[in-house]
Amino acid sequence: MAEAPWRASVLTLFPDMFPGPLGASLAGRALAEGLWRLEAIDIRDFAADRHRSVDDRPAGGGPGMVMRVDVLARAIDHALETGPDRPRILLSARGAPLTQGRVRALAGGPGALIVCGRFEGVDERIVAARSLEEISLGDFVLSGGEVAAMALIEACVRLLPGVMGAAESGAVESFEAGLLEYPHYTRPQSFEGLEIPAVLTSGDHAAVERWRRQEAERATRQRRPDLWAVHKKKAGKKAD
C-alpha cells in the first residue's frame, strides 16, 4: 500500500488565499503531482449563528476582538478527521522561533494542521484544549497567520522526497550545519570590476571546500552571533 502524501490542513478565515504562492514553482508542481496535499478550511463554517461569528470581545476589556475557543475547537476537530496524528500548529508572535531543524522534523512526518489566527489572537484555552504548538516566524507582527502558514508549508514541502531536483540541495544550505550558507557565483567571470574568487575556478576541490567553510563561518560570525555562539559551543564539545 502506497504511503499517504504529506498533508497540510490550514484553518483560516480567508481560504481563498490558498494555494497562492504554494501553487507555483517547486511547491506547485509537487502539489499537482500529488507529492503533497493542501486543504484550506474556512473557520467560519463552524460558527453556530447565522452571522457566522468567530470572534468576541476580550474578557477583561481592551481593544480588538478574540477568536472564540468553541468555534476553533470544532474546526480543528473536523480537520483532525483526515489526519489525527499530525502536529497541530498555531502561528503566533508569542510562539517559539521556527528553525530549520523543526522544519525538517515536520517534513519527515505525515504533515501539519495549521491554525491561522486573526484579530488580537485566539482564546488561550484552545492551545491547551487541542494541544497546539505555538510557532513564530520572527520578532514581528502580521495581520494574520496566512502568510506565515505559506512560508512554513513551503519550507517543509521543498524537503519532501522528489520535490527538489538534486537530493543534496537541502543539505548544503543555511542552518543545516548550524552556519549560514557560503556565497555563490556564476558566469560571467567579471562583472563591473568584481571577479569570481580565483579558488572557485582553480579546479582544486579541497581548496574550494575549505574556502566555502571559511566563508560560511565568517558570514555567521558577522551576521548571526547567536548562531555562531551555538556553533562554537558544539565544536568545543566535539573537541572534548
Separation of alpha carbons 177 and 186, rounded Å: 24
Separation of alpha carbons 200 and 114, rounded Å: 43
Portion of the chain with pLDDT greater than 70, in percent: 94
Question: Is residue 166 pLDDT above 80, yes or no?
Answer: no
Number of neighbours of residue 227 by Cβ within 10 angstroms: 17
Arithmetic mean of pLDDT, 191-220: 97
Give the pLDDT of residue 240.
46
Q: Which of 47, 36, 39 is nearest to 114 (CA)?
A: 39
The pLDDT-based confidence of 236 (bands split at 50, 70, 90) is: confident
Give the pLDDT of residue 177.
81
Give the pLDDT of residue 114.
98
Arithmetic mean of pLDDT, 44-49: 96
Arithmetic mean of pLDDT, 183-207: 97
Give the pLDDT of residue 169.
60
Give the pLDDT of residue 106.
98
Q: Rounded mean pLDDT of the chain?
A: 94
Which pLDDT tens digit goes with each residue over 47-103? 999 999 999 999 999 999 999 999 999 999 999 998 899 999 999 999 999 999 999
**Integer angstrom CA distances of residue 80 from 27, 151, 203, 240:** 23, 22, 54, 46
Give the pLDDT of residue 2.
56
Which pLDDT tens digit goes with each residue over 20-29? 999 999 999 9
Which pLDDT tens digit goes with each residue over 133-142? 999 999 999 9
Question: Is residue 239 pLDDT above 70, yes or no?
Answer: no
The pLDDT-based confidence of 1 (bands split at 50, 70, 90) is: very low
Arithmetic mean of pLDDT, 145-163: 97
The pLDDT-based confidence of 235 (bands split at 50, 70, 90) is: confident
Separation of alpha carbons 114 and 6, rounded Å: 13
Task: Identify which has the larger pLDDT, 53 or 165.
Answer: 53
**Integer angstrom CA distances of residue 25 from 21, 116, 161, 188:** 8, 23, 16, 26
Domains detected in the chain: 6-157 (3.40.1280.10), 172-239 (1.10.1270.20)
Strands (E), the chain: 6-12, 36-42, 55-56, 66-67, 88-97, 111-116, 133-136, 190-191, 194-195
